[in-house]
Structure 1
């Protein structure tokens, strides 16, 4: 076989390894081809599996966590796309530590998590599936079996975690459901006692200075957002990757921070005609972004020193609908003796203690303790201008009666 034919065959094998055939059920980038990175967090005990997802090259990690059970076997928290590569990496752990026994769907509103559970469960037919209570779907509220979850192996997580078959190793706390008009939000935080690891979905995050490894496998999205204008050709340097990542983080968490301007579409189309790269990959030269010179100030304020915080979107549009319930949930989670947090997005693992988790929710309190809140105006202010679009969305949705108004702080 010629070298070029052998190389072509190897590339085809790799592409099949990353293939996700059901991408059309949630058409997010990178669509039908998803790489997976497995990382050992606690030796022979806890592993993370990172993949990538995004829109318009605004890409962030999506993460599954696998925990070894004391009696042998594995628990899977928040499955990702079961590509051949991903399943092979899981089965390597199965061969050493035992089969997948439990699969956890810890959210009710995150379609990017829910869509993978059924296909993932079919790869491990002996596993029991536990889902967060109050599941719903849009536009029709369908039974779980219609969403691809195996009906004979799926059950709802009980409110009392002591009644589950893994109660001696895990505790969990259910936030919600928080009613948001046409939809609901809920999250289940899991605490693995032996490794002192807290698993969460969206509730708290930390932003790394540099792009995570999964994002750097294909740097094109990073370089795309490192541009200043459509005509730029950005060199593939670590500085430009970092610049693109930091702007992506601002996009993801604010939608449109105050340091970002959107040119009029006439200007966008004219600039696209002058762009040196007008392929489909480059969105035909369209680049509807103009960053202000001081944009990095917003990223630095958002990241802080790498501490925990609640995403501005959750603050402004969701958790402020149930401040009392959220604080009570945060208090329960903070009663556990964890030393690391593994979220489903952005940085992981985060070395953090219970009081730091609790502090992240002080924005819901009228009088947060001194130094407690990341978003407390007296301790760690974020630029008010970066919240403008979120506040406009909040006000508009409430005025139209789509979502209920925010409640008073506790």
Structure 2
């Protein structure tokens, strides 16, 4: 169920369909130095997923990386009541039913550092997405900012992404670009992230990019 990318970084890939498009979904699990687990974008909780996660260690953090990726968060929060739930501030208004323990911020440190660094993607307020750097494995975690879909059985998916110029490469979609309200702020975010030391990129939708991640991210946001 869980695929290792490094000694302390694992992914769980699941099917995900929206608006007639097959995008696939992914949860990323970081094992912290104390053995606790940090879960990015939790996917559907079932017995197999829970068993795989429990085999790695105790769940300490559940992270909603933006205001869109929250559908399964409540189930995980209920299953792991001692885990801290981290989410963008905007999710409190969108999902008042959810238990949210800590609002994500650029200065947040609730036990992950120096393992995980985070940064709000400024300029896209409707998304309120945070990106994360797993320092030990030099891995950047993205959610909806860019997909990396190289093949799909869905002609709808292939057609849409080709029209976006986002098929077969790491790239944002037309929808993401339409949500940008401040290009200068987003450009500053891009430049800041490009100072981070990463090579691998793990998006929530599409293939894991094992190397060349900094160059791919630079190319993906060159339109700014």
The answer to whether the Cα contact below 8 Å between 1:174 and 1:187 also exists between their aligned partners in 2 is yes
Does residue 199 (structure 1) correspond to residue 145 (structure 2)? The answer is no
Q: How many residues get paired? A: 224
Per-residue CA deviations over 1:270-311 (Å, capped at 9, x if unaligned) read xxxxxxxxxxxxxxxxxxxxxxxxxxxx9xx643xx432222
- Describe the SS at the equivalent of 2:124: strand
Does residue 313 (structure 1) correspond to residue 221 (structure 2)? The answer is no
Q: 1:186 to 1:207 in 2, by over 3 A?
A: same
Does residue 156 (structure 1) correspond to residue 103 (structure 2)? The answer is yes
Give 1:185's match in structure 2, choosing from 107, 127, 150: 127
Per-residue CA deviations over 1:59-97 (Å, capped at 9, x if unaligned) read 221111001111211110011111122112211222xxx
Task: Please list every run of 5 or more consecutive structure 1 residues that lacks an aligned counterpart in the other structure.
Answer: 1-36, 212-243, 258-297, 365-410
More off after superposition, 73-82 vs 124-133: 124-133
Shift of 1:171: 0.9
Aligned alpha-carbon RMSD (Å)? 2.3
Q: 1:148 to 1:79 in 2, by over 3 A?
A: same
The answer to whether the Cα contact below 8 Å between 2:86 and 2:104 also exists between their aligned partners in 1 is yes
- Cα distance in 2 for residues equivalent to 1:201 and 1:352: 18
Match of 2:190? 330
- Describe the SS at the equivalent of 2:223: helix
The answer to whether the Cα contact below 8 Å between 1:134 and 1:177 also exists between their aligned partners in 2 is no
Q: 1:349 to 1:126 in 2, by over 3 A?
A: farther
Shift of 1:125: 2.0
Shift of 1:158: 2.7
Instruction: Give the structure with the higher percent helix.
Output: 1
Shift of 1:56: 6.7
Q: 1:147 to 1:115 in 2, by over 3 A?
A: farther
Match of 2:88? 132
- Describe the SS at the equivalent of 2:169: coil
Match of 1:123? 79
Match of 2:220? 360
The answer to whether the Cα contact below 8 Å between 1:158 and 1:164 also exists between their aligned partners in 2 is no
- Cα distance in 2 for residues equivalent to 1:186 and 1:127: 22
- Cα distance in 2 for residues equivalent to 1:82 and 1:349: 25
Structure with the greater relative contact order (CA < 8 A, sep ≥ 6): 1 or 2? 2
Larger Rg: 1
The answer to whether the Cα contact below 8 Å between 1:79 and 1:117 also exists between their aligned partners in 2 is yes
Shift of 1:361: 0.9
Q: 1:91 to 1:48 in 2, by over 3 A?
A: same
Match of 1:100? 59
Match of 1:289? none
The answer to whether the Cα contact below 8 Å between 1:335 and 1:354 also exists between their aligned partners in 2 is no
1:78-117 matches, cutoff 5 A: 78-94=41-57, 99-108=58-67, 110=68, 113-117=69-73
Shift of 1:325: 1.1
Instruction: Give the structure with the higher percent strand.
Output: 2
Match of 1:268? none
TM-score of the superposed pair, with normalisation by structure 2? 0.89
- Cα distance in 2 for residues equivalent to 1:57 and 1:175: 27
Per-residue CA deviations over 1:349-388 (Å, capped at 9, x if unaligned) read 4422323312211112xxxxxxxxxxxxxxxxxxxxxxxx
Match of 1:60? 23
The answer to whether the Cα contact below 8 Å between 1:341 and 1:348 also exists between their aligned partners in 2 is yes
- Cα distance in 2 for residues equivalent to 1:312 and 1:176: 18
Match of 1:224? none
- Cα distance in 2 for residues equivalent to 1:313 and 1:158: 24
